[in-house]
Amino acid sequence: MKNFFCRTAILAATLAGSSLAQSGGELRFCLRADPKTFDPLRVEDDNSETVRYITGGVLLRVNRKTQELSPELARSWKVDQQGRRITFHLRTGLSFSDGTPFTADDVAYTVTRLMDPKLHSATADPFRSSDAPPQIAVTARDTIAITFATPISGLERLFDQVAILSRHSPKKIAAVMGPFFVSEYKPGVEIVLSRNPYYWKLDANGQRMPYLDRIRLQIQQNRDMELVRFRRGELDLINSLDPEVFEQLARQSPESVSDAGASLESEMLWFNQVPTSAIPAHKREWFASQDFRRAVSEAINRADLVKLVYKGHAAPAAGLISPANKFWVNRSLAPHPFDARSATARLVKAGFTSHSDGLYDRAGHRVEFSVVTNAGNKTRERIAVMLQQDLEHIGIKLNVVTLDFPSLIERMTQTFQYEACLLGLTNLDLDPSAQMNVWLSSAADHQWNPNQKTPATPWEAEIDRLMRAQAAELRLAERKRLFDQVQQIVWEQEPFIYLINKNSLMAFSPQLRNQAPAAIQPQAYWNIDQMKKSTLVAGR
Amino acid sequence: MLEAPLPGGRGSVEPVRVSAASILLAEPRPQGSGMTKLAEIILVVLLTASLAIGLVPGASYSHQNRDITAAAPSLKFPLGTDDLGRDRLTRLLYATRISMLLAATAAAATIALAFLIGGLAGYYGGLCDRLIASILDLMLSLPWLFLLLAVRALLPLNASPVTSLIATYAMMAAVGWAAPARIVRAGVRNFRHSEFVLQARAQGCPETRVLLRHILPNLRPVLVAQFWTAIPVFILAEANLGFLGLSASDPFPTWGTLLKELQSPLLLRPEAFAPAVAIAVSLLCFKLITPWGGSQV
């Protein structure tokens, strides 16, 4: 009898445990600040993007793991008329989070609103191939065709960012098609997202997703506090970790951290080549010299940067596209090797002479310049100090200047009062057309010499030509070939000296299940509708 | 050399010879306290060690031993190495030299400014006093940290680490004179109608001479106390700026820049607290050696 009770108790406990593991629960993590908007079509900041990603239902989604496009609210799609028209066949019988039925009318409403110039939507920018609005034809309750005035390369992937709104719901933007909806917002404190009871996805067992009941997004600017709270078990995940924090967490509980490999983030150095800037002419001459830039690049020990600053959680960078971007990266390019001798030889070839007290140019100017970076960023400050020692070996004196971020941006974009700059770049979009604002010589974000009326150098003219050509090309292989050439030119000329590609580092509570860390944003919670929280694991 | 009267005595206008340096460095200071002696010894040892480090062959505050990063304390590196492999002890001693000497220099400059401006206000009174008093109120009410941030951002980018550091202390001196100036002003106002000043005036002594020869020596206790009080204030101010990344630029070490390592308290090793301990100890020592413990100023 006693044995029977024991077995029953064990069975009951097992069942209870199993049930708990499957139950919803609450997921908690931090946002750095309040979202600037809950309107999914007006998102411009990371915090709003997080809310949009979790609440917004999209027609097509880029799978963050495979980087392939997968159908969501649309069950199929077709691009034709040389990339001008896209036709979606929608899933039927779906509803918004308030129960309002979802139809092609809602897609038409969303696209019309998105393309309204008065909305000033950043999400709409990649769709704006001309001033003419797109033609939208709802041919059935579940079919819609959208025709743009001119071809748009990679058109279908752009819909990953477009969260569908309801035309008829009285709740307007609060009615969503994503796995969760915003149920509570306390400014400066937290946002509570509740499970969408009408979410359309079912798992393999026919159970309606998502599994979690709630997500609590807590506003926490201080990253140290975020870490403390994670260690106390008050948070379930950290989407992005510094390498040293990662290492420390890994020592304490290796199962709680994850390195998903190369991310789309890189760190780079560039020289100011703006002809009207106030820097001395002889320095502008150095900075315009390909040999000088290549020499600086070769004098930098990227392996040491990876080892000391990133604790091994990064890789030396070869160029503008990270290996995380599986399709578009030009794999024939390798990072410039660390070679101080070769660097010195290049400098001698370019007319510089090395003396006991440093390097001098032809006119007898000591080679010395300053690099600006943002104050408070410990990683960049360390990189800058390491560059100081590396460049000292080839006789270059580097002064490191840290500035508050607004001052830095003002110098970079308006006054151009800087000599070199050390900053990072994050590509949110895998498609190269998203980088037109950087690579076209006429672009404002062409940082080393922005807003050029005509390209200042033949290689910049060639990049302009290739970028425009790839944007107008619809054959993927040909686009890839053209963009590979852009990467090759950038690798040779080094207007940006790419230093490292960071890895994507994150932390998960041991209670979380089904996490699938990815290299591209949102790395930790891109499959949030599949994530579960178990209460079987005792609090840490 | 300045000539100063013996203070206090009726009609005591006999000048005594006092050097300018002795105004700040000499008496009065409470004598005989064991703690005070200990504080003086600690400060002297700290300063001597910080000056001597420059004589040690191979001691570099900037050299990165990239194969020995974040090393624990050892015989070769008694305080270990930092994340870039730099010797913590060498950096701490260089930082001690820089922070203490520059803080003392800035304090002296501040006291000079305070005497000049406070002295003018207190001595001449009237419109001059009201005008300077208003400026003092304004100076004391403004958030100077923001000015320091702005001026620091306006420095030429190619300013060397030494220049940026001197500029930082110069700015601190330039904005730090208001509080001691107010005290000097009050002191000078007290002396303005004293008998020895009236007598000096009656004898046709020029105003500047009265101020410098007769009033300044009598203000010496106030100025000395203000000087010793200002040094730790400037040390703390630099530590704040350095913690925010707005003091000396890399690789130059100051106590403030070394404190930046404490920004991630969860990642710290015990030896990373050495700069904080050095600051705390030196502040305590300055407090002890300040006349009247700095409390009656």
Query: How close does chain B come to A371, measured CA to CA in Å?
Result: 8
Residue A63 and residue A70 in contact, taking contact as beta carbons nearer than 8 Å: yes
pLDDT average, residue stretch A246-250: 90
Per-residue model confidence as pLDDT tens for chain B (297 residues): 334 444 444 444 444 444 545 555 554 455 557 888 999 999 999 999 999 998 888 889 999 999 999 899 999 999 999 989 999 999 999 999 999 999 999 999 999 999 999 999 988 888 999 999 999 988 888 877 777 777 766 777 777 778 878 888 888 888 889 989 999 999 898 888 888 888 888 888 888 888 888 888 888 888 998 999 999 999 998 888 888 777 787 788 999 889 887 876 666 788 889 999 999 999 999 988 886 544 443
Position A19 confidence tier, pLDDT thresholds 50, 70, 90: very low
**What residue in B sits closest to A224 (Cα-Cα)?**
B264
What are the tokens at B147?
Answer: 């000015």
Determine contact: B161 vs chain A, CB below 8 A: yes
Determine contact: B195 vs chain A, CB below 8 A: no
* Inter-chain residue contact B64 with A372, CB threshold 8 Å: no
The answer for residues whose C-beta is within 8 angstroms of residue B225's C-beta and 6 or more apart is B290, B291, B292, B294, B296, B297
Nearest CA to A513 among A207, A202, A211?
Answer: A211
* Predicted local distance difference test score (pLDDT) of residue A536: 53
| pLDDT tens readout for residues A46-65 | 899 999 999 999 999 999 99
B279: number of Cβ within 10 Å: 22
* Predicted local distance difference test score (pLDDT) of residue A120: 87
Chain A residues with CB-CB distance to B62 below 8 A: 388-389
The answer for residues whose C-beta is within 8 angstroms of residue B119's C-beta and 6 or more apart is B184, B185, B188, B211, B215, B216, B219
* Inter-chain residue contact B249 with A402, CB threshold 8 Å: yes
CA angle A361, A363, A366 (to 5 degrees): 45
* Whether this model's pTM surpasses 0.90: no
* Predicted local distance difference test score (pLDDT) of residue B148: 73
* Inter-chain residue contact B266 with A228, CB threshold 8 Å: yes
| pLDDT tens readout for residues A251-265 | 888 999 999 999 999
Q: What is the ipTM of this complex?
A: 0.71
How crowded is the C-beta side of B148, counted as CA atoms within 13 Å? 26
Using only C-alpha atoms, chain B has a radius of gyration, in whole angstroms, of: 22
Best probe of the B interface among A302, A367, A378, A401, by most B CBs < 10 A, is A401
DSSP letters for A462-476: HHHHHHHHHHH---H
Report the C-alpha gap between B162 and B94 in whole angstroms. Answer: 13
Percentage with pLDDT > 70 across chain A: 94
Alpha helices in chain B (DSSP H): 20-25, 34-52, 88-124, 126-141, 144-154, 161-175, 178-192, 195-202, 207-209, 216-243, 255-259, 274-289
Determine contact: B1 vs chain A, CB below 8 A: no
Cβ-nearest to B267 among A245, A308, A382: A245
Chain B residues with CB-CB distance to A402 below 8 A: 245-246, 249
Determine contact: B268 vs chain A, CB below 8 A: no
Residue window 218-257, chain B: list those with CB within 8 Å of chain A: 244-246, 249-251
Chain B residues with CB-CB distance to A416 below 8 A: none
* Inter-chain residue contact B265 with A224, CB threshold 8 Å: yes
| pLDDT tens readout for residues A352-394 | 999 999 999 999 999 999 999 988 788 999 999 999 999 999 9
Report the C-alpha gap between A21 and A205 in whole angstroms. Answer: 16
* Inter-chain residue contact A376 with B245, CB threshold 8 Å: yes
* Predicted local distance difference test score (pLDDT) of residue B264: 67
